[in-house]
Structure 1
């Protein structure tokens, strides 16, 4: 069952909670959001990189008019208690934004990794997307994705190998996501 809590002023972001055992597993209540281009998303998945390990969001009761801030309740692993939270998504959905976010790297896990790392990202508008891994000297070592993608959530898995199929040595690498003239870069570490 989905229960809406609040809606952004532009109407393109709705927050609430889900408690339907068919929607979530294991059965419990989770905070969710809805966007027209992605549908319902669990906040714990979408903003995993903003949550401390073991923390979880159970309800989302309010959203700021521009969609950037979400308020609700959840479990804080640092204190061991259920507490109120203010989640700064860093993204405003207001129409007056100069450049809408075309693509956003949502999560990268595990990091560091041994065998494989998962990159989850969201595409807001259809278009060409490029996901490349660079070494610290700025050399492209692996192109994970290059081509057109439809709007929505996407996931790519990297096995720690180069374009030539060679296992790369342990160390720090840069993951670069590009779309519609926008770029996001994160570090990723291989441990052997």
Structure 2
């Protein structure tokens, strides 16, 4: 912007003897009796507070989230997240008994859209469709090189 900011107070219905505006293009305009260095320091401090020193990366790792409800009868939902990455990723999600035996395989496939949240439902049955007894079970997620395990409690 060339010229002065004299018309800015009228545009913003401002009656103050100073004005500070950040335009949509990011240009900062101020008018008033202020020290330029003090204004620049205030702007720099404000901008620094908006920038996170450690950016949050969504879907930065493969996660097995807590199932809900837990304890459950007869259904529970099992959410998990797959990390952002290139190409597809092999994913296996299984229910195991306390001895580590496979009760049910809920997922055994390649996922072509990593970088998002998924959810599956377990109905308390084994691979043959038989209802399982009350007890503690494990849900195990294999996703690429990642292994995660959580406990589930089936009650009747």
TM-score above 0.5: yes
Per the alignment, in what secondary structure is the counterpart of residue 107 of structure 1? coil
The structure with more radius of gyration: 2
Gaps of 5+ in 2: 1-48
Q: Residue 115 of structure 1: which of 74, 81, 87 is its match?
A: 74
The Cα shift of 1:8 comes to: 4.6
TM-score normalized with structure 2 length: 0.60
Q: Assess, with a 3 A threshold, how the Cα gap between structure 1 residues 177 and 169 changes in structure 2: closer, same or farther.
A: same
Task: For CA contacts below 8 A with separation 6 or more, give which structure has more relative contact order.
Answer: 2
Q: Distance in 2 between matches of 1:156 and 1:177?
A: 12
Report the equivalent of 1:136.
98
Structure 1: runs of 5+ lacking an equivalent: 14-34, 38-92, 94-100
C-alpha distance in structure 2 between counterparts of 1:6 and 1:183, whole Å: 36
Give 1 or 2: higher strand fraction.
1
Q: State the distance in 1 between where 2:136 and 2:105 align.
A: 16
TM-score, length-normalised on structure 1? Answer: 0.49
Kindly report which structure 2 residues correspond to 1:55-70, keeping only aligned pairs within 5 A, or say none: none
2:110 is matched with 148
Q: How many residues align?
A: 103
Summarize the Cα distance change of 1:8–1:120 in structure 2 as closer, same or farther, 3 Å threshold. Answer: farther
Give the CA RMSD over aligned residues: 2.0
- 1:124-168 Cα deviation digits (max 9, x unpaired): 133011100110111101001011112111000000000000000
In the alignment, the residues of structure 2 paired with residue 109 and residue 145 of structure 1 have an alpha-carbon distance, to the nearest angstrom, of: 18
CA distance in 2, matches of 1:111, 1:189: 6
